[in-house]
Amino acid sequence: MTFSLFTPKNRIINLVLNDHSIRFLELKQTDPPSAQRWSERFLPPGIISDGKIADIDSLTTILEECIDEWKMRRRSIRFLVPDPLVIIRKVSIPVEIQDDEIKGYLYLELGSSIHLPFEEPVFDYYRLSENEKTKNLLLFAAPEHHVMEYANLFSSLKLNPIAADISPLALYRLYHQLSQVDQNEILFTVHFDLTSVNLCIFEGSAPVVMRPFALSFEHDKWDIKRDSRGLMECKYTSDAEELVVQFEDIFNEINKLIDFYRYTLNKEKQDITKFLLNGDHPMLEAIVEEMRERFEVPVELISFETKGKAGSVPSNLLLSLGLALKEVQ
């Protein structure tokens, strides 16, 4: 399942931009696949905000430096649509709508029978099931203006954007590569980054509900530098209790989303069977341990042992790796 805007090609660079970083990874075509090279660059606050480009001049300058340093010029790229821009909805359409007519039908219904919190969406869909009267779909949508702002920026810098995806699918793709996935599993993914958290619940391989949340980030309370590998090293220098309050808010949101899934989406038919965590937050392992204390279902921290010539892929590059795996599945 993909969130496709363009046509895939070979030798693809996989880019992940969020409010605080730019990351890239290139996958080597082997069996099993291995990551050939990767890197990341910290973004100062105010350049990307809630997934939207806020300072395009500064972002352009930084991207130009990254392209030169990472030797990416004139390469084809995939990128992730930032979580705050993405909407996932279950929708039903008449069963008589033919498969090759679905996208046109959805386009006509957006803004009338299908309501989104923005106009002019770019969208894709995934078929779930059908009965005698309806076809049930998952609709993935994002504001076209903001998505194309990224695509146009990449193009202006001599990159070739050929595909866009969303982070829950990239994470699930990696999870599927690693595990013997139970098709009846109800997986709750938690992507816990320095400046945001994204919660998503999967039924099988379908992400049926997603909730992104921003974290308060005060740059002067963090010591952020590059380690010997050129990767971000983050350490909180203020009162740790301030972070604990943030974590408590997120645990409350996790409980709310579990209840929403259990009682509203699923009518108490099924419940969460596993948590899967990933992210770049430096306290991620402590978050995992706290969740194991609070919740009665298993909590798993995803890791990937594939080797590239630079060693094992760091945990904060795993979304980029999940994005890269599209070309080998």
Q: What is the pLDDT of residue 267?
A: 78
Distance CA 200, CA 316 (A): 18
Q: Which residues of 109-121 are buried (b: 16+ CB within 10 A; e: fewer)?
A: ebeeebebeeeeb
Q: What is the pLDDT of residue 314?
A: 86
- Across the strands, what pairs with 130? 135
pLDDT at residue 146 in the model: 97
Domains of the chain: 12-86+143-328 (3.30.420.40), 87-142 (3.30.1490)
pLDDT of 8: 44
Say what the pLDDT of residue 9 is: 46
Model's pTM, two decimal places?
A: 0.91
CB 54 within 8 A of CB 46: yes
Question: Within the chain, which residues score under 70 in pLDDT?
Answer: 1-10, 29-33, 180, 305-311, 327-329
Q: Token pair of 129, please?
A: 């099931």
Residue written as token pair 């006509």? 108
pLDDT at 328: 57
DSSP string, 297-324: S-EEE-----EETTEEPPGGGHHHHHHH
Instruction: Specify whether the CB–CB gap between 326 and 8 falls below 8 A.
Output: yes
Q: What is the pLDDT at residue 53? A: 98
Which residues 6+ apart lie within 8 Å of 100 measured at CB?
Answer: none
Long-range contact pairs involving 182-186 (C-beta distance under 8 Å, separation at least 24):
182/273, 184/273, 185/273, 185/274, 186/261, 186/270, 186/271, 186/272, 186/273, 186/274
Pairwise CA distance, residues 70 & 125, whole Å: 34
Q: Could you give the CA distance from residue 144 to residue 111 in angstroms, rounded to a whole number?
A: 14
DSSP track, 131-197:
-SSEEEEEEEEEEHHHHHHHHHHHHHTT-EEEEEEEHHHHHHHHHHHHS---TT-EEEEEEE-SSEE
In degrees and rounded to multiples of 5, residue 255 shows phi and psi of -60, -40
Report pLDDT digits (tens) over 184-241.
899 999 999 999 999 999 998 899 999 999 999 999 999 999 887 778 999 999 998 9
Q: What is residue 20's predicted lDDT score, i.e. its pLDDT?
A: 96
